[in-house]
Each structure stands twice: as structure tokens, then as C-alpha cells.
Amino acid sequence: MIIKGFRYSVAIRTLGKAGEIYQKELDSLNNQTIRPEKIIVYLAEGYDKPKETIGWENVVYVKKGMVAQRALEYKEINSPYILLLDDDVYLPKDAVEKMASALLTETGDCIAADTFPNHKMSAVCKIKAAISNWTFPIYSKKWAIKIQRTGSFCYNNNPTKDYYLSQSAAGPCSLWKKNAFLSIRLNDEVWLDRLGFAYQDDLLCFYKLYRNGGKMMLHYTSGVKHMDAQSSRTAYNVDPIKFRKRARALFIVWWRTDFDFGENSAINKAFSLGEYILKFLWSILANAGYSIVTSSYKPLYYYIVGNVDGYKYVHSDDYKKVTNFKITNV
């Protein structure tokens, strides 16, 4: 059933290089049962305008960055809802209708499409995720994804409903109340771009909404596909420098979203630190084993150095300028 009167616009972040995949995304937007009022393409400065088009999208040049190209005021958009997309997403014709219906039914602030179906991973991949990242399956009637105090997450291993409440999600496709998005002040998170590898930019966005009292959900049956997901998933596993940057980002995000959140009590900080230390020690063992198997010191070395880098950064002058993850009205 088509929702009457639902008004939204689309915001796509891109470098203009997705080619045919980007064209498929534009075509899928053009075929939605609920047509967007506008499609605004936020193209990084210095990059050529994409040749692919459907003829009625508008291109706006903005500063380059995974966070910077998302953390905008969206003054070009007057719609009360905004669909945030990467440039490599395919949406079935009723995808927005399904997501909007759930968002309105639950009076939520944001709903994301499940473009990274953890529950569909093979048993081997689930074991690897648990060993390497402390990412565990759960069986919940309420939650899709829950963030642990270690900064890792748990995922619903047997979703039986179309959507669930969630604390985070993968970032390629999400539908927001525009006011709710603006309220999380995502521009405060552009520090992540300065690290040179914006790992966990999606968690900083969605979890910030949740931690500050917002309501988000994850939709399992929208049919939305992330057409280029594999390239981004494997990059940090094959590049030792990115592996180091990933470890650094994980430490900083844990520090920011849990350990140093708001006026955290000494007791809460002690529990948070204790859990992270347990994860750290386990990861030392896991990476030591991986180093032995691969006859390379790099996995263990770069994991340790990445954590040291993270510790140094949260005590740097640059980080001291960043406002707390807990939003307070000034």
C-alpha cells in the first residue's frame, strides 16, 4: 500500500567514479513507488561530475570525506525526511515505501536497510568474526544490533520480523527524519576523516542517535542491496597500514562512545576499561595466532601499534577540540 503524503528527498555522497553501478542506483530511485521530491548528489570537490544521469538530479560540490560528505546541513532539501545513500546501492521499487511505513508505524527517527546481513554469514565467517572482532550472534525479539561496551557489536542471528530496534547499522542506505539527523551534530565527527581511513563512520552516526535518546531501526526485508560491498570490506584485511588505522579507529570510537561518554562515573569507566582490556588481550592472542599461521609479524604488530596510536590521539590537542559524544544544548 502506497503511503500518501510521505515527502522525502535523496542525498547521495560520491566521488563520481561508481559508473554503471551508480546508474543502476539512479534508475532504481526513479522507479520508486514513492517518488522523491529531489535527488541531490554531494560530489567531493576536485572530482568530475558523473556522466551517468536520469536528468533531474542536482550536483552539489562539498569537501571530500566519508563523514564530511554526510555531515551536511542539507539546505537544498526542504522535505521532512531524507534518504541518505552511498553511490552503489540498488533499491527495489517498494524499498522506500517499506522503510517509510516502518518508520511511521514506530514513530522512529531513523531506519536503515540491512545491507550487511550478518545473520546470513556462513558458520565459518561467524566464528572468524567472533574470534577476531568479538562480534557475536544473539537471539533477540527486540534488537537487531546491540553495541557492546568494548566497541564491538552483537547481531540478531535469527530475525523473524521485517524490522527491529537497533543501536547501529551499516551505512549505505538509511531513511531519516531530517530534524533528527541534524540534531546529532554529525559535523562534530569529521575528526575521523582526518585519520585517513574513516572506519566506523556509520557507527558514529547511528549510535550517536541512539546514545542521545533517538530511536532507530534496522529493516531486514527492504531488498536494498549494497552492490560494491565486498571491496570496502576486504580493504583493511589485505593492507597492513589500513589494518593499523582500523585498530586505531576502533580504540578511539570505544573511548568516545563509551569510556568518555558524558559525565561517566568512575565505576562505569572502570567496567568499560576492564571489558576493553579483556577484548584487547584476547585480540593479542588471536592476532598472535594469525601471525604464526601467516608467518608474518604484521597482524600482531599493527594491532598493538594501532591501539597505541588511538590512545595517543584521544590525548592529543586535536581530539581535545572535539565536543563530547553526549549532546548537550548550549
pLDDT in tens, 35-87: 999 999 999 999 999 999 999 999 999 999 999 999 999 999 999 999 999 99
What pLDDT is recorded for position 237?
Answer: 54
What pLDDT is recorded for position 46?
Answer: 96
What pLDDT is recorded for position 154?
Answer: 97
What would the pLDDT profile of 265-291 be if each residue is shown by its tens digit? 999 999 999 999 999 999 999 999 988
pLDDT bin (cut points 50, 70, 90) of residue 228 is confident
pLDDT bin (cut points 50, 70, 90) of residue 230 is very low
What pLDDT is recorded for position 234?
Answer: 47
The share of the chain scoring above pLDDT 70, in percent, equals: 96
Average pLDDT, the chain: 93
**pLDDT at 239 > cutoff 80:** no
What pLDDT is recorded for position 191?
Answer: 95
| Three-class HEC string of the chain | CCCCCCCEEEEEEECCCCCHHHHHHHHHHHCCCCCCCCEEEEEECCCCCCCCCCCCCEEEEECCCCCCCCCCCCCCCCCCEEEEECCCEECCCCHHHHHHHHHHHCCCCEEEECCCCHHHCCHHHHHHHHHHHCCEEECCCCECEEECCCCCEEEECCCCCCEEEECCCCCCEEEEEHHHHHHCCHHHHCHHHHCCCCCCHHHHHHHHHHHCCCCEEEECCCCCEECCHHHHHHHHHHCHHHHHHHHHHHHHHHHHHHHCCCCCCHHHHHHHHHHHHHHHHHHHHHHHHHHHHHCCCHHHHHHHHHHHHHHHHHCCHHHHCCCCCCCCCC
Interatomic CA distance for residues 33 and 225, integer angstroms: 17
Which residues does residue 185 pair with via DSSP β-bridges, in sequence order?
none
Average pLDDT over residues 296-315: 94
pLDDT bin (cut points 50, 70, 90) of residue 196 is confident
What pLDDT is recorded for position 232?
Answer: 46
What pLDDT is recorded for position 233?
Answer: 46
CA dihedral of residues 320, 324, 328, 329 (deg, nearest 10): 40
What pLDDT is recorded for position 132?
Answer: 87
> Which residue matches cell numbers 577484548?
279
Cell of 127: 566464528
What would the pLDDT profile of 128-182 be if each residue is shown by its tens digit? 999 988 999 999 999 999 999 999 999 999 999 999 999 999 999 999 999 999 9
